[in-house]
Amino acid sequence: MAVLLDGAAVKVYSEPKGRCIKCGRPARVRLLYARAWLCDEHFLEYLREKVARGLTRYDMIRRGDKVIVAVSGGKDSMTLMDVLSGLSTRLGIELIAVHINLGIGDFSQQSLSAFREACKRYQGVKCLELDLKELTGFYLPDLLKAVRRPACSVCGLVRRYILNALAVELGASEVATGHHMNDIMAYAVKNFLGQNLEQIPKLGPVVEGEESAVRRIRPLFDVYEDETRAYAIIGGVPYTSAVCPFKPRDSMEDVIKRMLETIERRSPSLLISSARKMAESLESYPRSERPMGRCKYCGMPTSREVCSFCSLTQAIAGRPLGPEVRSKIRDIAAKLALMR
Ligand code: AMP
Ligand code: ZN
Ligand code: ZN
């Protein structure tokens, strides 16, 4: 029988092979880490409820919150958008899905189409497209030509700045990203190996707002990557599998992720218990002591005189772009408020 997903934590067969523990009907989803079979319908429900429990367990959101969901168009953030849109009424939260067009050729085209498709599907979610070139005058490949820094670090910095600035203007309570447990734990192991222990608290389910203007939350903190993939396949979630051409091949994170999969296959559920223990012991890790202030150009929080976005753009454009970007985002936020 064909196997649609042959993961360390979840397997999905093309046809039923077991009985659903909820309803007894034929089931094709095997949760290896929970030693359970689920039918398609009950798997989708299981994952939604698992995320809902995580939101409560880690105190990620409160009734009345305005939550920005950062959506890349890939399976993880699209699954997140699907799950949160299904829970939003019950949880009493307002969702604003935001996609940033980074202008990375075909990859960005496909990401944008997937996002647009999702916006048609989830009618209750407000959708917002931001264009990096309209905001800064540059797309990501132009930025990368001008600085000698790893692509993912420039991209992450730019995206974080834009999402933070938007959250400030919209008065959003938090920014939710689609990071899942496998990625988070791979970063944690990498930071452990380098003994950058003060980075580990930043990998928790919630990062409080002093560092980034608003709270950052990771609702998929205790969700296996296999689960997001299975959810996207079974739930028919629109997403793109396009891979960013700037993503380094065989990065240290990739190697560590594969190692963690091997460990999970040997000892099912080890990764989830480790992630949950880490979430409970974040207080015991050292934290960087640098006091937070405001960027002298754009006013966004930073531990230096000039924020990393303003210093990056100063090197590229000859002037810090923070103030211009913030004012454009202010206009966009005002228009979005009028659309209500
Ligand atoms: P990555 O750094 O590509 O693994 O992405 C991590 C998370 O950042 C994703 O799960 C999304 O929540 C968010 N993200 C990535 N790319 C974009 C984008 N182009 N627009 C909005 N959010 C994004
Ligand atoms: Zn069932
Ligand atoms: Zn700045």
Pocket probe for ligand 1: among 107, 109, 175, 177, the residue whose CB has the most ligand atoms within 8 Å is 177
Closest to 111 (Cα-Cα) out of 159, 145, 154, 71 = 71
Position 340 scores a pLDDT of 62
CA distance 74 to 72: 6
Q: Output the CA–CA distances (angstroms, integers) from residue 289 to 193, 206, 217, 303, in the order listed.
A: 21, 19, 22, 10
Q: Which residue has the higher pLDDT, 289 or 220?
A: 220
The span from the first CA to the last CA of the chain, in angstroms, equals 50
Whether the pLDDT of residue 242 is over 90: the answer is: yes
pTM higher than 0.75, yes or no?
yes
DSSP letters of 303-329? SSSS-HHHHHHHHHHSS--HHHHHHHH
pLDDT in the model for residue 1: 78
Question: Model confidence over 38-80: pLDDT tens digits?
Answer: 999 999 999 999 999 999 999 999 999 999 999 999 999 999 9
- Residue 2 host element (H or E): none
User: Nearest-CA neighbor of 182 among 231, 251, 253, 78?
Assistant: 253
Closest by CA to 230, choosing from 25, 50, 24, 64, is 50
d(CA 78, CA 85): 10
Strand duo 10-13 + 29-31: pairing = antiparallel
Q: Put residue 226 in one of left, alpha, beta given phi > 0 → left and psi -120 to 50 → alpha.
A: alpha
**Helix, strand counts (H, E) of the chain:** 12, 14
Closest C-alpha to ligand 1, atom 12: 177
What DSSP line would sit under 199-251, residue for residue? Answer: GGGGGSSEE-TTTTSSEEE-TTTT--HHHHHHHHHHTT--------TTSPTT-
CA–CA distances in Å: residue 95 to residues 81, 92, 173, 325: 9, 10, 11, 23
Residue 339 has pLDDT above 80, yes or no: no
* Token pair belonging to 89: 């009424």
Q: Any idea which ligand is nearest the CA of 298?
A: 3
Q: What is the pLDDT of residues 249-295, one digit of tens each?
A: 999 999 999 999 999 999 999 999 999 999 999 999 998 778 889 99
pLDDT per position as a tens digit, 165-190? 999 999 999 999 999 999 999 999 99
Atom of ligand 1 nearest to the CA of 108: 19
What percentage of residues in the chain have a pLDDT greater than 70? Answer: 99
Give dist(CA 75, CA 81) in Å, integer. Answer: 10
CB of 2 closer than 8 Å to CB of 28: no
What are the residues whose beta carbons fall under 8 Å from the beta carbon of 238, sequence distance 6 or more? Answer: 78, 114, 117, 118, 121
Share of the chain above pLDDT 90, in %: 92
CB of 71 closer than 6 angstroms to any ligand 1 atom: yes
Q: What is the pLDDT of residue 292?
A: 87
Q: Which ligand is nearest to the CA of 132?
A: 1
For residues 139 and 132, the answer to whether their CB atoms sit within 8 Å is yes
Name the average pLDDT for the chain: 95
User: What tens digit of pLDDT does each residue of 103-156 get?
Assistant: 999 999 999 999 999 999 998 899 999 999 999 999 999 999 989 899 999 999
Predicted confidence (pLDDT) at residue 211 exceeds the cutoff of 70: no
Residue 76 CB less than 6 A away from ligand 1? yes
Average pLDDT over every residue of 20-24: 98
Adjacent-strand bridge partners of 27? 18
Rounded Cα distance between 160 and 206, Å, is 15
Across 186-195, average pLDDT: 97
Residue 252's contacts (CB-CB under 8 Å, 6 or more residues apart) are 190
100 lines ligand 1 (CB under 6 A): yes
CA 249 distance to own-chain centroid: 21
Pocket probe for ligand 1: among 71, 101, 131, the residue whose CB has the most ligand atoms within 8 Å is 71
Q: Say if CB 158 and CB 143 are below 8 A apart.
A: yes
